[in-house]
Structure 1
Amino acid sequence: MGKRKRSSATASVQPTNTLLPQKRHYRQRAHANPFSDHALSYPAAPDQLDWSAHYPAFAGTGKTPEFADVGCGFGGLLIALAPLFPDKLMLGMEIRVQVTQYVRDRIIALRATSATENSSPDTPRPYQNVSVVRANSMKFTPNYFLKASLSALFFLFPDPHFKARKHKARIISPTLLAEYAYVLRPGGIVYTITDVRDLHEWMKSHLEAFPLFEPVSEEDLRTEGKGPIVDAVYSSTEEGKKVERNKGDKWLACFRRIEVPRI
Protein backbone atom coordinates (compact mmCIF):
# COMPACT_ATOMS: atom_id res chain seq x y z
CA MET A 1 0.00 0.00 0.00
CA GLY A 2 1.14 3.49 -0.74
CA LYS A 3 1.69 6.10 1.91
CA ARG A 4 -1.36 8.00 3.08
CA LYS A 5 -1.39 11.54 1.86
CA ARG A 6 -1.98 14.27 4.38
CA SER A 7 -5.39 15.83 4.02
CA SER A 8 -5.46 19.28 2.54
CA ALA A 9 -6.85 20.59 5.83
CA THR A 10 -3.87 19.22 7.76
CA ALA A 11 -1.37 20.39 5.18
CA SER A 12 -2.75 23.90 5.17
CA VAL A 13 -2.63 24.43 8.95
CA GLN A 14 -0.21 27.22 9.73
CA PRO A 15 1.04 28.28 13.17
CA THR A 16 -0.52 31.44 14.55
CA ASN A 17 1.10 34.24 16.52
CA THR A 18 4.49 33.25 15.17
CA LEU A 19 6.04 36.41 16.61
CA LEU A 20 5.13 35.45 20.17
CA PRO A 21 7.91 33.68 22.10
CA GLN A 22 7.47 30.06 23.13
CA LYS A 23 8.23 29.08 26.72
CA ARG A 24 9.96 25.89 25.67
CA HIS A 25 12.82 28.00 24.33
CA TYR A 26 13.34 29.68 27.73
CA ARG A 27 13.94 26.72 30.03
CA GLN A 28 15.13 27.51 33.55
CA ARG A 29 14.81 26.23 37.11
CA ALA A 30 11.61 27.11 38.92
CA HIS A 31 13.37 29.17 41.59
CA ALA A 32 16.62 31.05 42.17
CA ASN A 33 18.54 31.62 45.38
CA PRO A 34 18.00 35.30 46.34
CA PHE A 35 21.14 35.26 48.50
CA SER A 36 23.46 34.28 45.66
CA ASP A 37 25.54 36.77 43.73
CA HIS A 38 23.73 36.99 40.41
CA ALA A 39 26.04 39.66 38.92
CA LEU A 40 23.10 42.01 38.55
CA SER A 41 23.24 45.48 37.10
CA TYR A 42 21.04 47.96 38.93
CA PRO A 43 20.72 51.74 39.31
CA ALA A 44 22.33 53.45 42.28
CA ALA A 45 19.10 55.40 42.78
CA PRO A 46 15.69 55.59 41.09
CA ASP A 47 16.34 59.02 39.61
CA GLN A 48 19.24 57.56 37.63
CA LEU A 49 16.91 55.30 35.66
CA ASP A 50 15.96 56.24 32.14
CA TRP A 51 12.42 54.91 32.02
CA SER A 52 12.01 56.03 28.41
CA ALA A 53 14.05 52.98 27.40
CA HIS A 54 11.39 50.79 29.00
CA TYR A 55 8.36 52.86 28.01
CA PRO A 56 9.28 54.81 24.86
CA ALA A 57 5.67 55.79 24.18
CA PHE A 58 5.66 57.68 27.49
CA ALA A 59 9.01 59.43 27.03
CA GLY A 60 8.88 63.02 28.22
CA THR A 61 5.75 62.53 30.32
CA GLY A 62 7.59 62.19 33.62
CA LYS A 63 5.67 59.02 34.38
CA THR A 64 7.29 56.27 36.46
CA PRO A 65 6.03 52.77 37.27
CA GLU A 66 2.97 52.66 39.50
CA PHE A 67 2.38 48.88 39.61
CA ALA A 68 5.21 46.47 40.50
CA ASP A 69 4.95 42.69 40.18
CA VAL A 70 7.66 41.20 42.39
CA GLY A 71 8.82 37.86 41.02
CA CYS A 72 6.67 38.33 37.93
CA GLY A 73 7.44 34.91 36.45
CA PHE A 74 6.28 34.66 32.85
CA GLY A 75 4.44 38.00 33.04
CA GLY A 76 0.83 36.81 33.09
CA LEU A 77 -0.35 39.48 35.52
CA LEU A 78 1.39 42.29 33.63
CA ILE A 79 -0.08 41.22 30.31
CA ALA A 80 -3.56 40.94 31.83
CA LEU A 81 -3.48 44.35 33.51
CA ALA A 82 -1.70 46.38 30.82
CA PRO A 83 -4.78 46.89 28.57
CA LEU A 84 -7.03 47.55 31.58
CA PHE A 85 -4.91 50.45 32.86
CA PRO A 86 -3.28 51.91 29.73
CA ASP A 87 -2.17 55.10 31.49
CA LYS A 88 -0.40 53.36 34.38
CA LEU A 89 3.14 52.13 33.93
CA MET A 90 3.78 48.60 35.21
CA LEU A 91 7.07 46.88 35.94
CA GLY A 92 7.81 43.21 36.44
CA MET A 93 10.82 42.21 38.53
CA GLU A 94 12.27 38.74 37.94
CA ILE A 95 15.60 37.30 39.04
CA ARG A 96 15.89 34.42 36.54
CA VAL A 97 17.73 35.27 33.33
CA GLN A 98 15.77 33.19 30.84
CA VAL A 99 12.39 34.00 32.35
CA THR A 100 13.15 37.72 32.28
CA GLN A 101 14.16 37.43 28.64
CA TYR A 102 10.93 35.60 27.85
CA VAL A 103 8.84 38.38 29.38
CA ARG A 104 10.87 41.01 27.54
CA ASP A 105 10.45 39.22 24.22
CA ARG A 106 6.75 38.68 24.92
CA ILE A 107 6.20 42.39 25.50
CA ILE A 108 8.11 43.31 22.32
CA ALA A 109 6.03 40.85 20.31
CA LEU A 110 2.74 42.07 21.79
CA ARG A 111 3.64 45.67 21.07
CA ALA A 112 4.34 44.72 17.47
CA THR A 113 1.21 42.63 16.93
CA SER A 114 -1.40 44.50 18.96
CA ALA A 115 -1.81 47.75 17.05
CA THR A 116 -5.42 48.88 16.96
CA GLU A 117 -7.17 50.52 14.04
CA ASN A 118 -8.85 53.00 16.37
CA SER A 119 -5.65 54.17 18.04
CA SER A 120 -4.96 57.88 17.92
CA PRO A 121 -1.73 59.87 18.30
CA ASP A 122 -2.79 60.72 21.87
CA THR A 123 -3.38 57.07 22.83
CA PRO A 124 -0.33 54.78 23.10
CA ARG A 125 -0.62 51.45 21.34
CA PRO A 126 -1.31 48.43 23.58
CA TYR A 127 1.35 47.12 25.97
CA GLN A 128 3.49 50.25 25.77
CA ASN A 129 2.89 50.68 29.51
CA VAL A 130 4.48 47.43 30.66
CA SER A 131 8.12 46.37 31.01
CA VAL A 132 10.40 44.05 32.96
CA VAL A 133 13.80 44.17 34.65
CA ARG A 134 16.05 41.42 35.91
CA ALA A 135 16.43 42.27 39.56
CA ASN A 136 16.69 40.81 43.04
CA SER A 137 13.76 42.49 44.77
CA MET A 138 14.94 41.40 48.21
CA LYS A 139 18.02 43.59 47.79
CA PHE A 140 17.30 46.36 45.33
CA THR A 141 13.64 47.44 45.44
CA PRO A 142 14.47 50.99 46.68
CA ASN A 143 16.98 51.33 43.85
CA TYR A 144 14.13 51.23 41.33
CA PHE A 145 11.26 53.10 42.97
CA LEU A 146 11.02 56.51 44.57
CA LYS A 147 9.42 56.94 47.96
CA ALA A 148 5.60 56.61 47.81
CA SER A 149 5.64 56.15 44.02
CA LEU A 150 3.75 52.85 43.77
CA SER A 151 0.01 52.30 44.11
CA ALA A 152 0.14 48.49 43.90
CA LEU A 153 2.64 45.78 44.84
CA PHE A 154 2.01 42.18 43.85
CA PHE A 155 3.42 39.00 45.42
CA LEU A 156 1.72 36.18 43.53
CA PHE A 157 2.51 32.55 44.33
CA PRO A 158 6.01 33.29 45.68
CA ASP A 159 8.50 30.56 46.49
CA PRO A 160 7.21 29.01 49.76
CA HIS A 161 10.68 27.97 51.03
CA PHE A 162 9.13 25.15 53.04
CA LYS A 163 12.10 24.33 55.28
CA ALA A 164 12.33 26.43 58.45
CA ARG A 165 15.96 27.30 57.78
CA LYS A 166 14.84 28.73 54.43
CA HIS A 167 12.13 30.99 55.83
CA LYS A 168 14.57 33.90 55.84
CA ALA A 169 14.39 33.79 52.04
CA ARG A 170 10.64 34.38 51.97
CA ILE A 171 9.73 37.57 50.12
CA ILE A 172 7.57 38.85 53.01
CA SER A 173 9.48 39.63 56.20
CA PRO A 174 9.60 42.53 58.69
CA THR A 175 12.76 43.99 57.15
CA LEU A 176 11.44 43.80 53.60
CA LEU A 177 8.04 45.18 54.62
CA ALA A 178 9.79 48.39 55.68
CA GLU A 179 11.09 48.74 52.13
CA TYR A 180 7.71 47.95 50.60
CA ALA A 181 6.06 50.54 52.84
CA TYR A 182 8.69 53.06 51.72
CA VAL A 183 7.97 52.70 48.00
CA LEU A 184 4.19 52.29 48.38
CA ARG A 185 2.12 55.46 48.61
CA PRO A 186 -0.52 55.88 51.34
CA GLY A 187 -3.65 54.10 50.16
CA GLY A 188 -1.63 51.75 47.96
CA ILE A 189 -2.36 48.04 48.09
CA VAL A 190 -0.17 44.98 48.67
CA TYR A 191 -1.69 41.93 46.96
CA THR A 192 -0.57 38.47 48.08
CA ILE A 193 -1.85 35.08 46.96
CA THR A 194 -0.60 31.52 47.32
CA ASP A 195 -1.78 27.93 47.20
CA VAL A 196 0.31 27.08 50.29
CA ARG A 197 -1.70 27.60 53.47
CA ASP A 198 1.37 27.92 55.72
CA LEU A 199 2.87 30.61 53.49
CA HIS A 200 -0.46 32.46 53.39
CA GLU A 201 -0.55 32.54 57.21
CA TRP A 202 3.08 33.67 57.28
CA MET A 203 2.55 36.58 54.90
CA LYS A 204 -0.73 37.58 56.49
CA SER A 205 0.63 37.54 60.05
CA HIS A 206 3.70 39.58 59.15
CA LEU A 207 1.64 42.19 57.30
CA GLU A 208 -0.87 42.38 60.15
CA ALA A 209 1.95 42.95 62.63
CA PHE A 210 3.57 45.71 60.60
CA PRO A 211 2.33 49.15 61.75
CA LEU A 212 2.12 50.74 58.28
CA PHE A 213 -0.31 48.20 56.79
CA GLU A 214 -3.93 47.37 57.52
CA PRO A 215 -5.94 44.48 56.06
CA VAL A 216 -8.47 45.20 53.34
CA SER A 217 -11.07 42.65 52.30
CA GLU A 218 -11.66 41.39 48.80
CA GLU A 219 -15.21 42.74 49.01
CA ASP A 220 -13.94 46.25 49.83
CA LEU A 221 -11.47 46.14 46.96
CA ARG A 222 -14.21 45.18 44.54
CA THR A 223 -16.43 47.96 45.89
CA GLU A 224 -13.57 50.40 45.26
CA GLY A 225 -13.42 49.34 41.61
CA LYS A 226 -10.39 47.08 41.95
CA GLY A 227 -12.30 43.94 40.94
CA PRO A 228 -10.41 43.54 37.64
CA ILE A 229 -7.12 43.61 39.55
CA VAL A 230 -8.35 41.00 42.03
CA ASP A 231 -9.56 38.78 39.19
CA ALA A 232 -6.17 39.01 37.49
CA VAL A 233 -4.40 38.20 40.77
CA TYR A 234 -6.45 35.03 41.06
CA SER A 235 -6.20 33.68 37.55
CA SER A 236 -3.78 35.44 35.17
CA THR A 237 -0.50 33.83 36.22
CA GLU A 238 0.85 30.49 35.10
CA GLU A 239 0.87 29.30 38.73
CA GLY A 240 -2.71 30.41 39.30
CA LYS A 241 -3.90 28.55 36.22
CA LYS A 242 -2.04 25.42 37.31
CA VAL A 243 -3.77 25.53 40.71
CA GLU A 244 -7.13 25.81 38.95
CA ARG A 245 -6.35 22.83 36.73
CA ASN A 246 -5.43 20.80 39.79
CA LYS A 247 -8.55 22.04 41.62
CA GLY A 248 -6.41 23.42 44.44
CA ASP A 249 -7.11 26.22 46.89
CA LYS A 250 -5.89 29.79 46.66
CA TRP A 251 -5.54 32.10 49.64
CA LEU A 252 -5.68 35.85 49.03
CA ALA A 253 -4.56 38.49 51.52
CA CYS A 254 -4.47 42.21 50.71
CA PHE A 255 -3.25 45.13 52.77
CA ARG A 256 -3.47 48.89 52.46
CA ARG A 257 -0.59 51.22 53.17
CA ILE A 258 -1.84 53.57 55.86
CA GLU A 259 -1.06 57.26 56.05
CA VAL A 260 0.85 58.35 59.11
CA PRO A 261 -0.50 61.65 60.44
CA ARG A 262 2.05 64.39 60.79
CA ILE A 263 2.67 65.58 64.33
Structure 2
Amino acid sequence: MAKRKRNAETKSLLPQKRHYRQRAHANPFSDHNLDYPAAPDAVDWAAHYPAFAGTGKTPEFADVGCGFGGLLIALAPIFPETLMLGMEIRVQVSQYVQDRIAALRTTNKQADESSPAPGPYENVSIVRANAMKFFPNYLPKHSLSAIFFLFPDPHFKSRKHKARIISPTLLAEYAYALRPGGIVYTITDVLDLHEWMRTHLENFPLFEPVDEETLRAEGKGPILDAVRQSTEEGKKVERNNGDKWLACFRRIEVQRE
Protein backbone atom coordinates (compact mmCIF):
# COMPACT_ATOMS: atom_id res chain seq x y z
CA MET A 1 0.00 0.00 0.00
CA ALA A 2 2.81 2.41 0.93
CA LYS A 3 4.63 1.65 -2.31
CA ARG A 4 1.44 2.20 -4.33
CA LYS A 5 0.86 5.54 -2.58
CA ARG A 6 4.44 6.66 -3.26
CA ASN A 7 4.10 5.68 -6.92
CA ALA A 8 0.92 7.75 -7.17
CA GLU A 9 2.65 10.74 -5.55
CA THR A 10 5.60 10.42 -7.91
CA LYS A 11 3.31 10.30 -10.94
CA SER A 12 1.42 13.40 -9.80
CA LEU A 13 4.62 15.39 -9.28
CA LEU A 14 6.47 14.35 -12.43
CA PRO A 15 6.41 16.95 -15.21
CA GLN A 16 4.34 16.22 -18.30
CA LYS A 17 6.11 16.42 -21.65
CA ARG A 18 3.13 18.10 -23.29
CA HIS A 19 3.96 21.21 -21.25
CA TYR A 20 7.53 21.34 -22.60
CA ARG A 21 7.06 21.65 -26.35
CA GLN A 22 10.32 21.96 -28.24
CA ARG A 23 11.71 21.43 -31.72
CA ALA A 24 13.47 18.11 -32.20
CA HIS A 25 16.88 19.71 -32.85
CA ALA A 26 18.76 22.94 -32.23
CA ASN A 27 21.49 24.61 -34.28
CA PRO A 28 24.77 24.08 -32.36
CA PHE A 29 26.40 26.99 -34.20
CA SER A 30 23.83 29.56 -33.07
CA ASP A 31 24.38 31.93 -30.17
CA HIS A 32 22.04 30.57 -27.52
CA ASN A 33 22.76 33.39 -25.06
CA LEU A 34 24.01 31.13 -22.29
CA ASP A 35 26.49 31.76 -19.51
CA TYR A 36 29.30 29.27 -19.13
CA PRO A 37 31.87 28.66 -16.39
CA ALA A 38 35.35 29.86 -17.27
CA ALA A 39 36.76 26.50 -16.17
CA PRO A 40 35.54 23.31 -14.46
CA ASP A 41 36.67 24.49 -11.03
CA ALA A 42 34.28 27.43 -11.36
CA VAL A 43 31.25 25.13 -11.43
CA ASP A 44 29.32 24.94 -8.16
CA TRP A 45 28.75 21.20 -8.13
CA ALA A 46 27.24 21.40 -4.63
CA ALA A 47 24.28 23.24 -6.17
CA HIS A 48 23.80 20.36 -8.60
CA TYR A 49 24.40 17.55 -6.11
CA PRO A 50 23.70 18.96 -2.62
CA ALA A 51 23.73 15.50 -1.02
CA PHE A 52 27.36 15.14 -2.14
CA ALA A 53 28.52 18.61 -1.04
CA GLY A 54 31.93 18.52 0.57
CA THR A 55 32.91 15.18 -0.95
CA GLY A 56 34.98 16.72 -3.73
CA LYS A 57 33.20 14.57 -6.27
CA THR A 58 32.59 15.76 -9.82
CA PRO A 59 30.52 14.09 -12.56
CA GLU A 60 31.86 10.73 -13.74
CA PHE A 61 29.22 9.98 -16.40
CA ALA A 62 28.36 12.58 -19.07
CA ASP A 63 25.35 12.17 -21.34
CA VAL A 64 25.87 14.58 -24.23
CA GLY A 65 22.56 15.64 -25.73
CA CYS A 66 20.69 13.87 -22.95
CA GLY A 67 17.23 14.63 -24.33
CA PHE A 68 14.50 13.89 -21.79
CA GLY A 69 16.96 12.27 -19.37
CA GLY A 70 15.99 8.63 -19.80
CA LEU A 71 19.53 7.31 -19.50
CA LEU A 72 20.30 9.39 -16.41
CA ILE A 73 17.14 8.27 -14.64
CA ALA A 74 17.78 4.63 -15.53
CA LEU A 75 21.40 4.61 -14.32
CA ALA A 76 21.00 6.77 -11.20
CA PRO A 77 19.77 4.01 -8.85
CA ILE A 78 22.17 1.44 -10.33
CA PHE A 79 25.24 3.60 -9.57
CA PRO A 80 24.12 5.65 -6.52
CA GLU A 81 27.62 6.89 -5.67
CA THR A 82 28.45 7.98 -9.23
CA LEU A 83 27.66 11.56 -10.20
CA MET A 84 26.05 11.88 -13.63
CA LEU A 85 25.60 15.00 -15.75
CA GLY A 86 23.27 15.53 -18.67
CA MET A 87 24.11 18.21 -21.24
CA GLU A 88 21.22 19.47 -23.38
CA ILE A 89 21.07 22.57 -25.58
CA ARG A 90 17.26 22.85 -25.92
CA VAL A 91 15.75 25.07 -23.26
CA GLN A 92 12.39 23.37 -22.79
CA VAL A 93 13.88 19.89 -22.81
CA SER A 94 16.59 20.77 -20.28
CA GLN A 95 13.94 22.38 -18.07
CA TYR A 96 11.86 19.21 -18.25
CA VAL A 97 14.81 17.09 -17.10
CA GLN A 98 15.57 19.51 -14.28
CA ASP A 99 11.96 19.38 -13.09
CA ARG A 100 11.89 15.61 -13.46
CA ILE A 101 14.96 15.17 -11.28
CA ALA A 102 13.54 17.54 -8.66
CA ALA A 103 10.28 15.58 -8.54
CA LEU A 104 12.06 12.24 -8.24
CA ARG A 105 14.28 13.53 -5.45
CA THR A 106 11.26 14.85 -3.55
CA THR A 107 9.27 11.63 -3.77
CA ASN A 108 12.20 9.28 -3.13
CA LYS A 109 13.76 10.80 -0.03
CA GLN A 110 15.47 8.44 2.36
CA ALA A 111 13.01 6.90 4.80
CA ASP A 112 15.70 7.21 7.46
CA GLU A 113 16.74 10.86 7.33
CA SER A 114 19.58 10.15 9.76
CA SER A 115 21.22 7.88 7.19
CA PRO A 116 24.44 9.34 5.75
CA ALA A 117 23.74 7.79 2.36
CA PRO A 118 22.34 10.16 -0.30
CA GLY A 119 18.76 9.55 -1.37
CA PRO A 120 17.80 8.26 -4.81
CA TYR A 121 18.45 10.53 -7.80
CA GLU A 122 20.64 12.88 -5.79
CA ASN A 123 23.50 11.82 -8.06
CA VAL A 124 22.03 13.16 -11.32
CA SER A 125 21.81 16.69 -12.68
CA ILE A 126 21.68 18.63 -15.93
CA VAL A 127 23.13 21.76 -17.47
CA ARG A 128 21.74 23.59 -20.46
CA ALA A 129 24.86 23.84 -22.55
CA ASN A 130 26.25 23.60 -26.06
CA ALA A 131 28.65 20.71 -25.65
CA MET A 132 30.15 21.29 -29.09
CA LYS A 133 31.51 24.63 -27.90
CA PHE A 134 31.93 24.37 -24.14
CA PHE A 135 32.41 20.73 -23.12
CA PRO A 136 35.86 21.40 -21.52
CA ASN A 137 34.42 24.29 -19.48
CA TYR A 138 32.54 21.79 -17.32
CA LEU A 139 34.62 18.64 -17.13
CA PRO A 140 38.19 18.39 -15.82
CA LYS A 141 40.95 16.28 -17.27
CA HIS A 142 40.45 12.52 -16.80
CA SER A 143 37.34 13.08 -14.66
CA LEU A 144 34.96 10.88 -16.65
CA SER A 145 34.65 7.11 -16.83
CA ALA A 146 31.86 7.17 -19.43
CA ILE A 147 30.57 9.49 -22.16
CA PHE A 148 27.31 8.77 -23.95
CA PHE A 149 26.18 9.85 -27.41
CA LEU A 150 22.76 8.29 -27.77
CA PHE A 151 20.79 8.83 -30.98
CA PRO A 152 22.43 12.19 -31.79
CA ASP A 153 21.16 14.46 -34.56
CA PRO A 154 22.29 12.75 -37.81
CA HIS A 155 22.52 15.99 -39.84
CA PHE A 156 21.86 14.05 -43.03
CA LYS A 157 22.99 16.66 -45.57
CA SER A 158 26.71 16.68 -46.37
CA ARG A 159 27.00 20.39 -45.74
CA LYS A 160 25.62 19.76 -42.23
CA HIS A 161 28.12 17.05 -41.29
CA LYS A 162 30.28 19.63 -39.56
CA ALA A 163 27.52 19.89 -36.95
CA ARG A 164 27.77 16.21 -35.99
CA ILE A 165 28.72 15.69 -32.36
CA ILE A 166 31.61 13.35 -33.30
CA SER A 167 34.55 14.94 -35.16
CA PRO A 168 38.35 14.87 -34.79
CA THR A 169 38.39 18.21 -32.98
CA LEU A 170 35.65 17.24 -30.56
CA LEU A 171 37.18 13.80 -29.97
CA ALA A 172 40.30 15.52 -28.65
CA GLU A 173 38.12 17.26 -26.04
CA TYR A 174 36.33 14.06 -25.10
CA ALA A 175 39.64 12.21 -24.77
CA TYR A 176 40.92 14.96 -22.48
CA ALA A 177 37.99 14.57 -20.09
CA LEU A 178 37.84 10.77 -20.25
CA ARG A 179 40.22 8.87 -18.00
CA PRO A 180 42.28 6.00 -19.43
CA GLY A 181 40.07 2.93 -19.48
CA GLY A 182 36.91 5.03 -19.75
CA ILE A 183 34.31 4.16 -22.37
CA VAL A 184 32.61 6.14 -25.12
CA TYR A 185 29.16 4.72 -25.87
CA THR A 186 27.50 5.57 -29.20
CA ILE A 187 24.21 4.31 -30.58
CA THR A 188 22.01 5.41 -33.47
CA ASP A 189 19.32 4.12 -35.78
CA VAL A 190 21.01 5.77 -38.78
CA LEU A 191 23.58 3.48 -40.40
CA ASP A 192 25.44 6.33 -42.13
CA LEU A 193 25.86 8.14 -38.81
CA HIS A 194 26.94 4.93 -37.09
CA GLU A 195 29.67 4.42 -39.68
CA TRP A 196 30.69 8.09 -39.38
CA MET A 197 31.08 7.91 -35.59
CA ARG A 198 32.76 4.50 -35.66
CA THR A 199 35.24 5.51 -38.37
CA HIS A 200 36.21 8.76 -36.64
CA LEU A 201 36.72 6.99 -33.31
CA GLU A 202 38.74 4.20 -34.95
CA ASN A 203 41.00 6.76 -36.61
CA PHE A 204 41.59 8.75 -33.44
CA PRO A 205 44.80 7.58 -31.70
CA LEU A 206 43.45 7.70 -28.14
CA PHE A 207 40.52 5.33 -28.65
CA GLU A 208 40.27 1.64 -29.43
CA PRO A 209 37.10 -0.34 -30.19
CA VAL A 210 35.71 -2.63 -27.53
CA ASP A 211 32.96 -5.15 -28.23
CA GLU A 212 29.75 -5.59 -26.27
CA GLU A 213 30.71 -9.06 -25.03
CA THR A 214 33.89 -7.71 -23.44
CA LEU A 215 32.02 -4.87 -21.76
CA ARG A 216 29.39 -7.21 -20.37
CA ALA A 217 32.15 -9.45 -19.00
CA GLU A 218 33.52 -6.36 -17.23
CA GLY A 219 30.18 -5.79 -15.52
CA LYS A 220 28.90 -3.04 -17.80
CA GLY A 221 25.80 -4.93 -18.87
CA PRO A 222 23.40 -2.61 -16.99
CA ILE A 223 24.92 0.38 -18.78
CA LEU A 224 24.59 -1.27 -22.19
CA ASP A 225 20.98 -2.23 -21.48
CA ALA A 226 20.19 1.36 -20.52
CA VAL A 227 21.97 2.68 -23.61
CA ARG A 228 19.75 0.49 -25.80
CA GLN A 229 16.44 0.81 -23.99
CA SER A 230 16.10 3.86 -21.73
CA THR A 231 15.94 6.85 -24.07
CA GLU A 232 12.89 8.25 -25.84
CA GLU A 233 14.54 7.75 -29.23
CA GLY A 234 15.52 4.19 -28.39
CA LYS A 235 11.96 3.33 -27.39
CA LYS A 236 10.65 4.94 -30.57
CA VAL A 237 13.01 2.83 -32.69
CA GLU A 238 11.78 -0.32 -30.93
CA ARG A 239 8.13 0.61 -31.53
CA ASN A 240 8.94 1.03 -35.22
CA ASN A 241 10.95 -2.23 -35.34
CA GLY A 242 14.03 -0.30 -36.44
CA ASP A 243 17.71 -1.17 -36.13
CA LYS A 244 20.03 0.17 -33.46
CA TRP A 245 23.72 0.45 -34.25
CA LEU A 246 26.00 0.33 -31.20
CA ALA A 247 29.71 1.19 -31.15
CA CYS A 248 31.84 1.49 -28.02
CA PHE A 249 35.42 2.65 -27.63
CA ARG A 250 37.90 2.60 -24.77
CA ARG A 251 40.17 5.52 -23.93
CA ILE A 252 43.72 4.15 -24.05
CA GLU A 253 46.69 5.11 -21.94
CA VAL A 254 49.44 6.99 -23.72
CA GLN A 255 52.75 5.18 -23.39
CA ARG A 256 55.59 7.66 -22.98
CA GLU A 257 59.15 6.69 -23.66
Normalised to the residue count of structure 1, the TM-score between the two structures is 0.93
Aligned-pair CA distance for 1:117: 3.2
Is contact 2:10-2:103 (8 Å) kept? no
Aligned-partner residue type, residue 117 of structure 2: T
Name the structure 1 match of 2:105. Answer: 111
One of 86, 95, 102 as aligned partner of 2:89: 95
Percent identical pairs in the alignment equals 80
Name the structure 1 match of 2:5. Answer: none
- Residues 169-248 of structure 1: pairs in structure 2 closer than 5 A: 169-248=163-242
- Residues 39-58 of structure 1: pairs in structure 2 closer than 5 A: 39-58=33-52
Q: Secondary structure at the match of 2:149?
A: strand
Which whole-Å CA distance do the structure 2 matches of 1:40 and 1:147 have between them? 23
Verify: 1:129 aligned to 2:123, yes or no.
yes
Name the structure 1 match of 2:13. Answer: 19
Which whole-Å CA distance do the structure 1 matches of 2:43 and 2:227 have between them? 28
Aligned-partner residue type, residue 122 of structure 1: P
Is contact 2:168-2:204 (8 Å) kept? yes
Verify: 1:34 aligned to 2:25, yes or no.
no
Q: Secondary structure at the match of 1:18?
A: helix
Aligned-pair CA distance for 1:262: 2.4
How many residue pairs get matched? 250
Is contact 2:37-2:137 (8 Å) kept? yes
Which whole-Å CA distance do the structure 1 matches of 2:203 and 2:177 have between them? 19
Provide, for residues 236-256 of structure 1, a one-character-per-residue CA deviation record: whole Å limited to 9, x for no partner.
Answer: 000000000000000000000
Shift of the 209–16 alpha-carbon distance from structure 1 to 2, 3 Å rule, reads: closer
Gaps of 5+ in 1: 1-13
Aligned-partner residue type, residue 94 of structure 1: E
Aligned-partner residue type, residue 245 of structure 2: W
Q: Secondary structure at the match of 2:12?
A: coil
Provide, for residues 119-138 of structure 1, a one-character-per-residue CA deviation record: whole Å limited to 9, x for no partner.
Answer: 76221100000000000000
Name the structure 2 match of 1:255. Answer: 249
Verify: 1:64 aligned to 2:58, yes or no.
yes
Normalised to the residue count of structure 2, the TM-score between the two structures is 0.95
Q: Decide which structure has the larger Cα Rg and report it.
A: 1
- Residues 131-170 of structure 1: pairs in structure 2 closer than 5 A: 131-170=125-164
Which whole-Å CA distance do the structure 1 matches of 2:222 and 2:91 have between them? 30
Is contact 1:71-1:93 (8 Å) kept? yes
Which runs of structure 1 show a deviation greater than 3 angstroms over 4 or more consecutive aligned residues? 116-120
Q: Secondary structure at the match of 2:134?
A: helix
Structure 1 vs Structure 2 CA RMSD = 1.2
Which whole-Å CA distance do the structure 1 matches of 2:243 and 2:158 have between them? 23
Q: Secondary structure at the match of 1:68?
A: strand
Provide, for residues 220-249 of structure 1, a one-character-per-residue CA deviation record: whole Å limited to 9, x for no partner.
Answer: 000000000000000000000000000000
Provide, for residues 139-175 of structure 1, a one-character-per-residue CA deviation record: whole Å limited to 9, x for no partner.
Answer: 0000000001000000000000000000000000001
Is contact 2:85-2:126 (8 Å) kept? yes
Is contact 1:119-1:125 (8 Å) kept? no
Q: Secondary structure at the match of 1:17?
A: helix
Aligned-pair CA distance for 1:16: 6.8
